[in-house]
Amino acid sequence: MAIDPYAWIEASLTTIHRADWYRFEQTISSRPGTIVQLEGRTVINFASNDYLGLAGDRRLIAAAMFATEEFGTGSTGSRLLSGHRQLHRELEKAIASLKQTEDALVFSSGYLANLGAIASVVGKKDLILSDRYNHSSLKNGAILSGATIIDYAHCNLAELENHLKEHREKYRRCLIITDTVFSMDGDLCPLPKLLDLAEKFHCMVLVDEAHATGILGKNGAGSVTHFNCTHRPLIQIGTLSKALGSLGGYVAGSSTLIDFLRNRAPTWIYTTGLSPADTAAALEAIKIVQQEPERRAQLWRNIETLKQLISQQLPNLKLLPSESAILCLQLKDAATALVAGIKLKEAGIFAPAIRPPTVPTSRIRISLMATHETSQLEKLVAALKSL
């Protein structure tokens, strides 16, 4: 009897549907901004990572267009072959200058930067300690490295220390990996204490600043600066695709580290260099982040305003602890979250339901932008009230 070797896929999809875990994409047909056209409906956008409102900024668009005219659409090869341009180096220097590190290396995405950096600095003989709520790219980078992985409870440094006491000695190198702003919760990792522990147990630390760059710290350099840890030994990862409004990722750190990654990181060596348009747009965004601190200040005013509105008008809703532009409202299960997301959309609010397996508990996730107006925040709160 012939058995269809692909039949399991449909069965697996059915299981996903039954658990209310099924996902699909929704089309946005307008330029990025606080108001977008979502599946033909005009909605206020609380689902974007474009925290500073730069993805639709004229200056980024002009920089991308100019770079495309000048250098073409593709970079035509990997950086070590034919894909390297002066523009890449300018961007790397701008990132290093923002982060106050010796150097930086640009990858084609933040995801690839994490895979490449983690898999390059540790291997089979080594240990990785990983916060349980870390982003998928950190977790998969850890798996790719072949190191032994121990997860510790979210931001629980006492547990981290116990693992270090028990296991550190058995391994050659040890790497602690963590988001700084947790992407699905919005809270911050206790970086200074974590670095103290790392020092005590001779561990390297890799932090993912995806949701912190452009938002936290003096000049928008991120949470490392926010916590005054700028000159402590660290491997910093970030993305060009959130507050910086472009596409791509980076590693920032010592020049020795960057030189090493250029020679070892497979996700940098064996992939095509960032396109001229993406590179130029990110470079322009970094200039704006440094020159226009008022954008960041406005974002923080919006965060405080929304927190106040929620605590005044929706005292029964559970707002998860947050110190960033990501605010989450906890709901009892996936089905409830799904219905809430749909009802909000019908009310003209785009704030998606986030469900397992992405997170352990279902929630509505709100991300704020510097360009949101107070009236838009009030409309969000009114829609939440009527749920």
Query: What sign does the dihedral 286-292-298-300 (CA atoms) show?
Result: positive
Residues in the interface with ligand PLP (CB under 6 A) total 14
Report the candidate in 310, 248, 290, 296 with the shortest Cα–Cα distance to residue 273: 248
Indicate if 183 belongs to the active site: yes
| Interacting residue with ligand PLP among 179, 185, 187, 278 (CB under 6 A) | 179
Indicate if 30 belongs to the active site: no
CB 296 to ligand PLP: min, Å: 18
DSSP conformation letters of 324-385:
SSEEEEE-SSHHHHHHHHHHHHHTTEE--EE-TTTSSS-EEEEE--TT--HHHHHHHHHHHH
Q: Does residue 273 sit in helix, strand or coil? A: coil
Looking only at residues 297 through 356 of this chain, which bind ligand PLP when binding is defined by CB under 6 A? none
Report the candidate in 63, 6, 9 with the shortest Cα–Cα distance to residue 286: 63
CB closer to ligand PLP, 130 vs 376: 130
| Interacting residue with ligand PLP among 249, 273, 276, 341 (CB under 6 A) | 249
Rounded to the nearest 5 percent, the helix, strand and coil shares of the chain are 45, 15, 40
User: Who contacts 40 (Cβ-Cβ below 8 Å, separation ≥6)?
Assistant: 29
User: Who contacts 93 (Cβ-Cβ below 8 Å, separation ≥6)?
Assistant: 104
CB closer to ligand PLP, 47 vs 384: 47
CB closer to ligand PLP, 129 vs 164: 129
Whether the CB-CB separation of 127 and 148 falls below 8 Å is answered with yes
295 binds ligand PLP, rule: CB under 6 A: no
139 binds ligand PLP, rule: CB under 6 A: no
Report the candidate in 133, 130, 146 with the shortest Cα–Cα distance to residue 204: 130
| Interacting residue with ligand PLP among 135, 345, 355, 365 (CB under 6 A) | 135
Identified catalytic residue from 183, 246, 324, 367: 183
Mask for 200-239, x = binds ligand PLP (CB under 6 A): --------x-xx---------------------------x
183 binds ligand PLP, rule: CB under 6 A: yes
Q: Tell me if the bond preceding 357 is cis, omega within 30° of 0.
A: yes
| Interacting residue with ligand PLP among 34, 45, 109, 371 (CB under 6 A) | 109
Binding site for ligand PLP (CB under 6 A): 109-111, 114, 135, 137, 179, 183, 208, 210-211, 239, 241, 249
Give the residue numbers annotated as catalytic, written as ranges: 183, 211, 242
